[in-house]
Structure 1
């Protein structure tokens, strides 16, 4: 309901939502840089975009990238 409205009515089977958050890491801040790296790996030309069920991940009805959660909003929630 509310999340779907916030994401603009996404109707894909799955949505990719990045959470670039690293301030809870005890040593390295690597997790904050993960969302763009994950997208790079998923959408690169050498990735097999077909699932075992024959679905294509590059089809927006199967997987939609809804971007990253703004970090300021996360911190405002007390995380």
Structure 2
């Protein structure tokens, strides 16, 4: 974990998500014995992540604005990279 935490917080591949919203992807059902892995594509700087689960489900999730979240009164400094 130390190696993962020792990174520049301004790298473009750092994104913040609401875990409750990510958890909803766990409810996606796939037919038969298809794997239910969630494939995520982080394509560009728009912070929209495309999600693919099985052969039938396609979706997207938007990352949280890091600057706005860092200014929230309940965000502890340790909660950010």
TM range (shorter): under 0.3
Structure in which a larger fraction of residues adopt helix = 1
Structure with the larger RCO, 1 or 2 (CA within 8 Å, 6+ apart)? 1
TM-score normalised by length of structure 2: 0.27
